[in-house]
A and B are shown apart, each in its own frame.
Chain A
Amino acid sequence: MGQFGIGQPVRRKEDVRLVTGQGCYTDDFNIEGQAHVHFLRSPYGHADIVSIDTTAAEAAPGVIAVFTGKEAQAEDFPILHCLANVKCKDGKPMIDTPRPALCTDRVRFVGDLVAMVIAESKVQAMDAAELIEVEYNERPAVTDTMKANTPDAPDIWPGWDKNTCSLWENKDPAPVDAIFEKAHKVAKVEVISPRVIGTPMEPRVALSQYDPEKDLVSLYIPTQGAHRPHGNIHKHFPKLEKENIRIVSLDVGGGFGLRSKSYPESVLMIWAAKRLGRPLKWLGDRFETMVSDNHGRDHVTRGELALDENGKIMAARIYVTASVGAYAFENGPNVPTFSSGRVTGQVYVIPDIHHVVRCVFTNNTPTDSYRGAGRPEAAYIMERLLEEVANVMGISPAEARRRNFITPDMIPYKNNQGFVIDSGDFAGTMDMAMELADWNGFEARRAKSEAKGKMRGIGIGYFIEASGGQPQEEARVRFNDDGTITVLAGTFSHGQGHATVFPQILVDKLGVDYDSIEYIDGGDTHGEVPFGWGTGGSRSSMMGGTAVARSCDAVVVKGKKIAAHNLQTAPENIAFEEGVFKATDSGGSMTILQIAEAARDKNKLPDGMEPGLDERYRFDRGKDPSGYNHPNGCHIAEVEIDPETGVVEVVRYAAVDDNGIVLNPMIVHGQIHGGVVQGLGQALLERTTYDSATGQLLTGSFMDYAMPRARHVPDIKAGNNENAPCTVNELGVKGAGEGGCCGAPPAIVNAVLNAFKPLGITHVDMPLDSEKIWRMIQRAKPSAAAE
C-alpha cells in the first residue's frame, strides 16, 4: 500500500521531537511545591543494622522528613513480595523474601534501601543523608553463584536448602539417563552467562503526588507501559488499592525489561507522597541506577548432549544454577525456569530433555528480566554444545546443526516443554546467514589476518525465542471530527517506533493517509487507554499489531453496513479497497472518511446502529502454549585476536533473523543492531564484579563497568528470512526485540574458540577481556611467552 504501508521503511514520526530536544522524560518536568528525595543505601553487601540515628539529619537545613525501617511497624507500610511462584521438586515451596521497602534489621546487598530523606532541595536531602549515623554489624557475604549453595556459605534467607529459592525440574531423569547410557558419544560443556547490568541511558527517576479529594496517588516513572506495574505495585501495599494509584510514563529513555518492574523506590514514592501530602521528586544517579535496576543473567549451566553414530542428538541434560540476588524479586525466579525452559531444545530435534534449575540467593542486586530474559541463556548453552558436537564428531559446525535442525516438514513442532513452534526455516535461515557473512571467503580472510600476526575465527550462534508475552492486548481506531484518525493501543514505545508502525497497519488496512494518523499509547493508567500490557517479551508487533489490525477489520465490517445503507444496497454488495467502499451492483462509492462523517449522523445509519465508525478490539490469544510466536535467527561473527595484547575485535558480523513478516525493516533492523551490541557487550566487555568476601560492588559506574562503545562494534549486516511467516497471528509477525542478544554471545564465543583451535583451547568464559585472552594464549604457547 504505497510508501507508508506494511513492509516499508517509513521514517519515524516521533523523531522530530526527539532530535530537537523536545522530548519529555520524567526528569524534564516538576510538580509545583515538590520536595526532593534522596535514598541512603547500604554500603555493605551483608550486615545487620544495629542502630540508626537520624537526629542530626532531621535537624539539618531544609529537611522535611527522614524515614527508616522503623516505619515498617506501621500497618500501612509497604512490604515487597515475589510475584513468581516456581513449582519446586518434591512439592517443596519456593522461598518468598518479604522485603519491607526500607530495611529493618538487615541489609543484603550494596544498594539496599536504609533511609529515605526528604528535603526542600535535592542537595539538602543529600547533605542530610550524610548526617545519618547507621551502626552496622558486618556479616560474611556470598556473591559467587556457585558458592551460594555450599555448606560454608553464609545464610542469606532461611529455607529448606542452603540459600535455595527454588529447585525446578522438568521431569523424572530416568528415561534421559537411559538414553545417555546408549549414546555413541556425549558432548559436554559448562558455561557461565555472566551477570550484566542493563543500564538504560535514562537514570532511575520518579515523581509522585497525592490528591486527597480523589484519594489518588499519581506516580510518574519511566516504564514499559503503565498498566503492567499498575497491576503489580498495589500488591505490595497492605492498605492501598489499585484504584487509588495512577501511573504515568511520558518519554522513556530505554527499558530492556528492567523498567517494567515495581521497585521499592517506586513503592516508597507512593507511600511517602500520601503520608506527607507533598509532591515528591527523586532523581537517581548512575550508581543508584546500576544497583537498583534489576540485573540480568547470572547463570552457570552444565549441558550434555547424547549423540548417535551420525551426530544426531538423542537427549539433553541441562543443569542450571541461577542467582536471583539478595531477594526473590518480582518475576526473577521465573526467568531461568519458565522463560528459559520454553525453548531449552532450541531449533533442534531433541527427543528427550532433563532440565533442572536451582535458583540461589546471593548478596547482589536481585535479577529479573533483562532483554531476552532466559532465552539468551538457553541459546548460549545449546550453541556452545552444538560447537562441541562438531568437535567430538569431527564435522563442521554448520554440518552439526544441519543434522539436527527441526525441518519444515516437522512443523508445527511440539517441543519438550509442550510449546509449539508454529513456523520456521532454520536450515534456510542459516544458509542465508552464511551467504551474508561470506562464509566461503573466511579462509582467505584468515590467511590475511595471519600474515599480519593476528588470529582469526568465525562462529555461529543460532537462537529461537518464545515471544508475545502477556496474552491480551487492546486497540482502538478513532475517527476524529477534524478528519484525522487516532489509533490507541495498550503497548508502549520506548524506542520501538509504535507511533510509526501502527499507523502503517492502518494505511494498509484502511487506505487512510499516513500523516493524518496519530498514536496514543498505554503510558497513563488514567488516560485514554484503559487497558494494556505494555511492551516487553517482544510482544508489541504481534499483540498490539493484531489488536490494531482487528480493530481495522471491525471498522470495515461496520463501514460496509453504513455504506450499504447510504448507497441503497446490501452489505454483501459492498467491496472495500484502498479506502473506498464501493457498491458492486450500482457502482456508487464512498470514501472511508465520508463513511466516518455519515456515521456521526443518525439519519444516515441503519436502524439501531450506534453512531460512529470507531471500533475497538481486545485480542486474547488465551493461555495455550501454542500461542507464542517464535522469532529465530542465525548470527555469524568473525573475530580477529591480537596475540600480543589479547584484544578480541569483532571485525565482521552478519545476522539473518526470521521475524516473520516485517512491518518496517528499518525499525526491525534497528532492533537487531541494538540487541547484537548488547550481546557483544556481554560477550566481550561487561563484567559485573563484586568483592567476593564483602559483597562490595566494584563496577558501579561507567568508569568501571565497560559499556560497548562505537569503536567496539563493526558494521552489522542485517537481513530477514520472510519465507516462514508466523501462523499464530494473521499479520504473520514474530517478535523482533530480543534476538540480537541471544545470537551474539554464542556467535562471538564460538568465533574466538574457532580462532583458538590451533592452540588446543576448547573453552573460554565471557566476558572475553584482553587480560583473560592474553593469559590463555600465553599458557597455551609457553614458548611464545618466553620470547
Chain B
Amino acid sequence: MSLSVTMTVNGKPVSGSVEPRTLLVHFIREHLRLTGTHVGCDTSQCGACTVHVNGKAVKSCTMLAVQADGADVMTIEGVANPDGSLHPMQFAFQDNHGLQCGYCTPGMVMMAIDIAKRHPNPDADTVRYELDGNICRCTGYHNIVKSVIAGAKAMHGGA
C-alpha cells in the first residue's frame, strides 16, 4: 500500500507516494534526494537527522513521512541565505571549528538554530543541556558549544 504526502520543504511544495512505514528522514533523503540530513542511529539518540518541522527542531527519524503531510519542513539545504551566503549559525560553526568530519553537523546546526530562537543569548550550560539529543564523536563538543553561543549572538544582531 502506498500513500501520497504533500508538504513544503525548504520553501518549495513537494509531494510523493510513500509506504506507510516510511520515515520522514527516508522521504527527505531517498525521495527528495536531500542528503544533507543524515542517519546516525536507529533509536532517535544521535540527532544527525534533525530538521525543522513547522519551525521546531525534530528528529526526522521519529516521524513518519505521512505525519508530516501538510507541514512546513526545513532541512540543512534550506538554511543558507537566498544569495548562497552562510546563515549566521553555519558561519559560526566554521568560524569556531565546530565540526571535524561533518557527519553530525547538519543536525547540530538545525538544533542550534532552534536553541538560538529560544535562547537569544545562551550560556554554555544552557547549550550543553539543550544539545543532549545530538551526539558528536569528533569535536568533544567544546567548539560546538562555542559555535552555538556565537551563532545565537549573531542571529540576534550581536557581533
Contact = CB atoms under 8 A, between A and B. Distances in A.
A12 B139 CA distance: 14
A621 interface: no
A201 B106 contact: no
Nearest to A675: B140
B140 A677 contact: yes
Interface residues of A, number: 57
14 contacts: A15-B93, A15-B102, A19-B94, A21-B37, A22-B77, A251-B102, A256-B137, A678-B140, A701-B42, A709-B131, A711-B131, A713-B128, A713-B140, A713-B141
A15 B41 contact: no
Contacts of A29: 35
Interface in B30-61: 34-43, 45-46, 48
Interface stretch (A79-87, A510-518, A666-674, A774-782): A666-674
Nearest to B146: A715
A199 interface: yes
Interface of B: 19, 29, 34-43, 45-46, 48, 75-77, 79-80, 86, 90, 93-95, 97, 99-106, 109, 124, 127-129, 131-132, 134-145
A711 B129 contact: yes
A25 B37 CA distance: 11
Contacts of B129: 710-711
B36 A710 contact: no
A225 to B, nearest CB: 14
Interface string A226-270: 000000000000000000000000011111100000000000000
A480 to B, nearest CB: 25
| Residue with the highest number of chain A CB atoms closer than 10 Å, among B19, B103, B139 | B103
B43 A676 contact: no
B141 A20 contact: no
Nearest 7 A/B pairs, CB to CB? A21-B36, A253-B103, A495-B100, A18-B102, A677-B140, A673-B140, A702-B45
Nearest to A673: B140
Question: Which one of A19, A20, A256, A716 has the greatest number of beta carbons of chain B within 10 Å?
Answer: A19
Contact of B40 (A21, A201, A675): A201
Contact of A21 (B34, B41, B134): B34
Contact of A670 (B48, B90, B128, B143): B143
Nearest to A9: B97
B142 A713 contact: yes
A5 interface: no
Nearest to A22: B36
A199 B137 contact: yes
A200 interface: yes
A19 B99 contact: yes
A207 to B, nearest CB: 14
Given A16-B94, A23-B36, A254-B103, 16 more contacts: A11-B95, A15-B99, A18-B102, A21-B79, A22-B36, A23-B102, A23-B103, A25-B103, A201-B38, A201-B138, A203-B40, A287-B42, A674-B100, A708-B141, A713-B140, A713-B141
Contacts of A673: 139-143
A201 B142 CA distance: 17
A20 B39 contact: no
A697 to B, nearest CB: 15
B92 to A, nearest CB: 9
A703 interface: yes
A707 interface: yes
A285 interface: yes
Contacts of B143: 670, 673
Contact of A201 (B35, B76, B101): B101
Residue with the greatest number of chain B CB neighbours at <10 A, chosen from A18, A22, A23: A18
Contacts of B127: 710
Interface in A432-483: none
Best-buried of B76, B109, B142 by chain A (most CB within 10 Å): B142
Given A21-B34, A201-B136, A710-B127, A286 B43 contact: yes
B140 A674 contact: yes
Given A201-B46, A678-B137, A20 B36 contact: yes
Given A25-B38, A203-B39, A253-B102, A19 B109 contact: yes
Contacts of A666: 97
Contacts of A496: 100
A202 B38 CA distance: 8
A494 interface: yes
A670 B100 contact: yes
B43 to A, nearest CB: 5
A500 B136 CA distance: 22
Contacts of B38: 25, 201-202, 253
Given A710-B127, A715-B124, A18 B46 contact: no
Contacts of B35: 21, 24-25, 27-29
Contacts of B109: 19
B123 to A, nearest CB: 12
A201 B103 contact: yes
B57 to A, nearest CB: 15
Given A15-B94, A21-B76, A200-B101, A710 B145 contact: yes
A709 B132 contact: yes
Contacts of A27: 29, 35, 39
A20 B139 contact: no
Nearest to B90: A19
A740 interface: yes
Contacts of B37: 21
Given A16-B94, A673-B143, A710 B101 contact: no
Nearest to B130: A710
Interface in A370-425: none
Contact of B105 (A19, A203, A287, A716): A19
